[in-house]
Structure 1
Amino acid sequence: MRTIKYLVVHCTATSQKTAISSIQTYWKKQLGWKMPGYHFIVKPDGEVVSLLPIEQVSNGVKGFNHESINISYIGGVDPKNIPQDNRTLPQKASLLQLLTALKQKFPKAIIQGHRDFPNVKKACPSFDAKKEYQNV
């Protein structure tokens, strides 16, 4: 098993109506990635979809992927693509449940947002994940 130092929270920076298949197509065709950007993605109804086993490396945070598990919710921007925490209540509940389970498995892992890494110039996940999950 990989050494996991970070549980990284992301947003897709898309409409909440965006299909996971569209996000996956973007990764492959636009970015040329062989692996997904996240291990898990949380739909607006709270369903957690696994995109990649946690034993494998995803493309969530450049330079930190080998030591991270990447989790995203669909959304994170308003209709004008301005960052906005628009998580639904089911998304918030599922994120908390998933992060709690992962933190039990990797107790030394730090939970933080994509934006909390050095040299990241994004608002992702459009809220302060460090503060929100500090007690997990």
Structure 2
Amino acid sequence: MIDPNTTAQNNPRKIAYIVVHCTATSPSTKIKNIQRYWSENLGWKNPGYHYIIEANGNIVTLLSETKSSNGVQGYNSTCIHICYIGGVDSKIKPMDTRTDAQKAALLSSLELLKKKYPTAVIWGHRDFPGVNKSCPSFDAKKTYANIK
């Protein structure tokens, strides 16, 4: 669930971006496996995202919005990162695999985050300069352009 207690006024970080991600894994991948990968393979102390959405639409908080995660290199201090589990087909090719439950949870989460951070723009990971990824495997910038 999106943290209802953090607001733009009490967050010491200036949030300029709300970033949509996919895990680029199977939609059935467990969060603990993703966390283990960050820790053991990448050596990260903080997770890649603030929020992650399971296939059933359950939203799990991984990090407080007041802290920087590892979502987009060079931009993390100004971002809130939200991710859905999935984003690739069985051959690991980029594909929008969001379930209806994930789509609904992502939309409601982005609406809530946009209310909390009204000046922030919603971008997909792929929309940042120098990023050569398909993440989140759909055009988040266009899809969520009307969220005010």
Q: TM-score range by the shorter chain?
A: over 0.9
RMSD: 0.3
For 1:34, give the aligned amino acid.
Answer: K
1:61 corresponding residue in structure 2? 72
In the alignment of these two chains, the number of paired residues is 136
2:93 corresponding residue in structure 1? 82
2:19 is paired with a residue whose SS is strand
TM-score, normalised by the number of residues in structure 1: 0.99
1:92 aligns with 2:103: yes
1:122 aligns with 2:133: yes
Stretches of structure 2 that go unaligned for 5 or more consecutive residues are 1-10
TM-score, normalised by the number of residues in structure 2: 0.91
Matches within 5 A, 1:1-136: 1=11, 2-136=13-147
Structure 1 segments, 4+ long, off by >4 Å, are none
Rounded Cα–Cα distance in structure 2 between residues aligned with 1:111 and 1:31: 26
Stretches of structure 1 that go unaligned for 5 or more consecutive residues are none
Give the percent of matched residue pairs that are identical in Structure 1 and Structure 2.
58
Rounded Cα–Cα distance in structure 1 between residues aligned with 2:97 and 2:87: 6
